[in-house]
Amino acid sequence: MKYFDRYAKIVYSIGEKGVIMERDASVLLNKVAAYNILAVEIVKKAYLYACEKHKNQYRESGEAYITHPLAVATILAEIHADMATICAGLLHDTLEDTKTSEEELLNLFGPEITNLVKGVTNITNMNFYDKTTFNNANLRKVLVGMSKDIRIIIIKLADRIHNMRTLEYKKDIRKQQLKSQETIKIYAPIAEQLGLYGLKLELEDLSFMYLNPDGYKEIRDLRLKWQDASTIKDEIIANISRVLNDNYIFSTIKFRMKNLYGIYKNLMNGTSIDNIHDLFIFNIILDNIDNCYLALKYIHELYKPNPIFFKDYIAQPKPNHYESLHTTVFGPDDKLMQMQIRTPEMEQMARYGITYYWHQDVDYASIIMQDAFNKQYPLMQSILVANKSAKSNADFVQIVEEDVLGEKIPIYNNKGELTEIAQGSTPIDYAYLNFSRVANHLAAVIVNGVAVNFDYVIKPYDKIRIITDINAPGPTKEWLEIAKTATAKQKIKEYLKSKGHGLTRSPW
């Protein structure tokens, strides 16, 4: 008997959908009970409260409004969110959309849950001139709020996932596209930087579906054709399993294809579909790191590797803590296939990202997660720099979109650590993004051991070292033309203004 079945009916009968709602609530409570039995009672209380508050409210689909917070909470339960986060997911629209006071929430659910609900609640729009200004203010509030509680953005991501899954019911095509544009420019990159790859891929594909319906259908049909035509999947898995078993390396092997939006980006960059190196992805999970490298050796003996695409993210993890060996090999008929080789722990990090800590069954997991995020994830520092640099909410959103969440390339910093920078950046951008206090004294730049000009365009995996000198002449108007990131341009502009160069408006 599942845990939920111990209870009598716990939901209100909402029109003809009461039976459906009871079933959906059962799904949520059973998911929670599977990993945190002690949280079920308070989650049930939050659900009943949300049902009462959203009574007689309906979504554009015609469904009872409670279906939305219930879906958000269920998405959170799937990543093993803690009790406070799931309750906040259930209650996240009560302050904004119902006659609920902060005091009432505080009395019923305590400060932790109330603060999370406040964190995801929109600012009142009565003082804003238009929707864009309103959205910019709310986005800044939520992103800066991550420094105090990372769970705020995780709830927002779950909220956005469900809104995108049901976007078809919003009949205004322009609103569909605006929502999708924000999702693909802001929320999908945030999910990636937090290591939440599953959410990132789904957000990208859902956005792609509304931003380019024809392109979406074409890529979907093309991928299905390749998937149907590819009869080699089972053969590849069998061959790899055999060679690993013969060498006493036991594995779990999974297969997937690249997401639709990822394929679309490759095609737009001029890569034909048969030359996409990670169209077919085999995830090979082994019991320890030594066996990961041994497996790499045996796979390369079995299938010829393409060294251009080899990446050792175990020796040099990504900034979001992702670890794995990536190698692309030539399979049957010279089909390119990517092998991702990692341990079960690395697999958990690849699947759950920053929320990995919720899966470790440790006390104070959310506190540990917050500390790791603030100290070890570049995203938070980038957001704080953007917040300090921006003169307005619009400036903040522009900096975040272009510098923090835009297309990135991997590079090595002064310490030899793998990090990322916006595609198209120059050494001037690198200096202001990483050494803002001394960037005005930039004197020279060394890339891969060779001195380069300030207008050098940084390439993937460049190793960059900057040299500063207190007597350096400092930024000039030419620096503004060389810089590509909004952060660097803003800092240069401030310096020139302080020196009396009379810049009264942005020159870009």
Residue 490 sits in a domain of what CATH number?
A: 3.10.20.30
More confident residue, 276 or 435: 276
pLDDT in tens, 415-457: 888 888 989 999 999 998 888 788 999 999 999 999 999 999 9
Q: What is the pLDDT of residues 396-412, one digit of tens each?
A: 998 898 888 988 889 99
Same domain, 11 and 113: yes
Stretch 112-135: mean pLDDT: 82
Same domain? For 52 and 165 the reply is yes
| DSSP-derived 3-state class of residue 73 | helix
Give me the mean pLDDT over the 341-369 stretch: 93
Q: What is the pLDDT of residues 38-84, one digit of tens each?
A: 999 999 999 999 999 999 999 999 999 999 999 999 999 999 999 99
Q: Are residues 244 and 157 both part of a single domain? A: no
As a whole number, mean pLDDT of residues 352-368 equals 90
Question: Residue 1: its pLDDT value, please?
Answer: 37
The stretch 136-159 carries a mean pLDDT of 93
Residue 84: its H or E element: helix 83-91
Whether residue 133 is found in the same domain as residue 260: no
Residues 249 and 187 in one domain: no
Residue 397 lies in a domain: no
Task: Identify which of 80, 72, 4 has the alpha carbon closest to the alpha carbon of residue 44.
Answer: 4
- Greater confidence, 365 or 333? 365
User: What pLDDT does residue 500 have?
Assistant: 73
**Residue 128: inside a domain:** yes
Residue 21 covered by a domain: yes
Task: Report DSSP letters for 192-258, one per residue.
Answer: HHTT-HHHHHHHHHHHHHHH-HHHHHHHHHHHHHHHHH---HHHHHHHHHHHHHHTT---EEEEEE-
H helices of 306-354, in order, are 344-352
The answer to whether residues 334 and 442 belong to one domain is no
Q: Would 372 be classed as within a structural domain?
A: no
Mean pLDDT confidence for 116-121: 94
pLDDT band at 384 (very low <50, low <70, confident <90, very high): confident
Q: Residues 6 or more apart from 343 whose CB is under 8 A from it?
A: 285, 286, 287, 288, 289, 292
455 annotated active-site: no
Cα 70 to Cα 78: distance, rounded to the nearest angstrom: 12
Which is the catalytic residue, given 22, 97, 104, 345? 97
Round to whole Å and give the CA distance between 73 and 68: 9
Task: Report pLDDT for 402.
Answer: 86
> pLDDT at residue 10 above 50?
no
- Co-location of 186 and 241 in the same domain: no
Q: What is the pTM of this model?
A: 0.87
Residue 221, domain member (yes or no): no
Is residue 96 annotated as part of the catalytic site, yes or no? Answer: yes
User: How many CB atoms are closer than 10 A to CB 378?
Assistant: 15
| Domain boundary, last residue among 156, 186, 216 | 216
Q: How far apart are CA 115 and CA 121, in angstroms?
A: 10
Query: Count of domains in the chain?
Result: 3
**Per-residue pLDDT at 132:** 84
* Residue 204 within any structural domain of the chain: yes
- The one catalytic residue in 60, 78, 96, 234 is 96
pLDDT of residue 450: 95
How far is Cα 2 from Cα 390, in angstroms, rounded to an integer? Answer: 51
CA 185 to CA 396: how far, in whole Å? 14
Is the same domain home to 201 and 66?
yes
Residues 169 and 249 in one domain: no
pLDDT score recorded for residue 4: 45
- 315 or 403: whose pLDDT is higher? 315
Structural domain span for residue 426: 407-498
Q: Please determine, for residue 121, whether its predicted confidence score (pLDDT) is greater than 80.
A: yes
Q: Is the pLDDT of residue 362 over 80?
A: no
pLDDT at 6: 40
Calculate mean pLDDT across residues 218-238.
84
Q: Is residue 164 part of a domain?
A: yes
Element holding 421 (H helix, E strand): strand 418-422
CA dihedral (342, 343, 349, 350) in degrees, to 10, reads 30
% of the chain with per-residue pLDDT over 70 = 93
193 and 143 both lie in a single domain: yes
CATH of the domain at 117: 1.10.3210.10
pLDDT score at 491: 86
Q: Which of 326, 342, 358 is the last residue of a domain?
A: 342
Based on the fold, state whether residues 205 and 236 are members of the same structural domain: no
* Residue-level pLDDT at 263: 96
For residues 479 and 429, what is the distance between their CA atoms, to the nearest angstrom?
10
Last residue of a domain, one of 304, 323, 342: 342
Determine contact, residues 445/463, Cβ cutoff 8 Å: no
- With respect to residue 69, please indicate whether it lies within any of the assigned structural domains: yes
The pLDDT of residue 8: 34
Give the H or E element holding residue 300: helix 289-302
Residue 14 pLDDT grade (very low, low, confident, very high; cuts 50, 70, 90): very low
Least confident of 39-43, 281-285, 296-300, 504-508: 504-508
Same domain, 244 and 197: no
